[in-house]
Chain A
Amino acid sequence: MTGGSGGGGGSRSGVKRRKKQHGSGELMIASMLDILMAVLFFLLKNYSTVVTDFSVGKDISLPYSSSLAPPTPSLQMVVTQQAIILDDKEIAPIVNGDIPKQFLHGDGLTITKLFQELRAQKEKTEYIQKKSDENNSFTGTIVMQADKNLNFNVLKKVIYTAGVSDFVMLKLAALKKDNG
């Protein structure tokens, strides 16, 4: 009897001990939730002000600018130290800081393939606009991402080609200068 009652008392204290151990072993998720919430609010706040379909090209180092204008969705042209890229397609290489002559038109300024591609883009845009009911006309907007160390002799040819292809609304991409 005593043994039984003693055994009963022993098992009760064992449950207590087990309960205690269980309590201390529980994961404290309240603090983790706090961190997650803080990160989430931070991301949500930034997310609303950033246009997400703007991706900075690879192998490119953009210059810094104090401008605050946000990027707009439009045709993107990337000029790295190695090549000119339009819509993720390499158009012409850059060798020794210049565009090889075989890629240029007789005037020495127009980049032949870039001109053809931009013309095709223009026609495509105009065709889409004609088919859609919206009364928008072709604006000729193009965003240029260029490496900060490039010389203007390369950019001049790129800009000139864009101009003769009716892409006259040139926008230059840069990294936001931290004024703080």
Chain B
Amino acid sequence: MARKPSAASNRMKPLEGLNIAPLIDMVTCLMFFLLFFAAIIPVVILDAPLPKIASTAAEIKQANEDKNKLEIVVDVNETTINVKANGVAAKSFPRGADGKYPYVDYHKHMVALKKMRPTTTDVTLVPTDAVVYETFIEVMDYARELMPGDEGYQQLGPELQGKPEAMQYNRLFPEMSIGGV
């Protein structure tokens, strides 16, 4: 006759493995929270302060010291980008047959201007009424920093690429202000 199974063998054995159910719960909760709050669209900011008249003594002193710098004005209209700088012949960059502005040539000219007076860091942009905002941003971008292939361009390590800290390197004319307003 078969023996009756003992009560001890029927008793529930403690779980041997790690109970990961609470861990999954936690991870899932965290993920939903992060997905909800994380900004998926990467937004960046461009500084474009309005030019102001030097009023305080410190500002006037600074303005006098700045006389050694180039005063660069970039006029942008529907057909051309005109770059004017004190003591340098004005240069125009008309739109091509494809309707695009010659941003690369404009950038090269800006690099040449920087080479003349390396202490100059600011540019005033003067767009006309018909200029599209996107064009205005492009004009700013091509004058703000050196690009690969430019003289003096520093290749950055992977730890800096795409990071805000990278803006300290390869600076061309990082201070842009909007004029003609």
Contact = CB atoms under 8 A, between A and B. Distances in A.
Contact of A170 (B24, B27, B49): B49
A62 B136 CA distance: 12
A172 B129 contact: no
Given A37-B27, A40-B27, A52-B37, A168 B43 contact: no
Interface stretch (B62-70, B88-96, B114-122, B160-168): B160-168
Interface residues of A, number: 60
Interface in B152-173: 162-164, 166-167
Interface size range of chain B in the complex: 35 or more
Interface in B91-147: 127-134, 136-138, 140-141, 144-145
B49 A174 contact: no
Contacts of A54: 39, 43
Residue among B31, B37, B45, B166 facing the most chain A CB atoms (10 A cut-off): B45
Contacts of B47: 69, 169-172
A8 interface: yes
Interface string B5-28: 000000000000000100110011
A93 interface: no
A70 B164 contact: yes
Contacts of B34: 40, 43-44, 47
A27 to B, nearest CB: 11
Given A5-B2, A33-B24, A54-B39, A65 B46 contact: yes
Interface of A: 1, 4-5, 7-8, 29, 32-33, 36-37, 39-40, 43-44, 46-47, 49-52, 54-56, 62-72, 143, 146-153, 155-156, 159-160, 162-163, 168-177, 179
11 contacts: A49-B163, A50-B38, A51-B39, A52-B37, A63-B134, A67-B167, A70-B45, A146-B133, A153-B130, A170-B49, A174-B44
**A-B complex: 6 closest residue pairs judged by Cβ atoms:** A8-B2, A153-B129, A148-B134, A176-B42, A43-B34, A63-B137
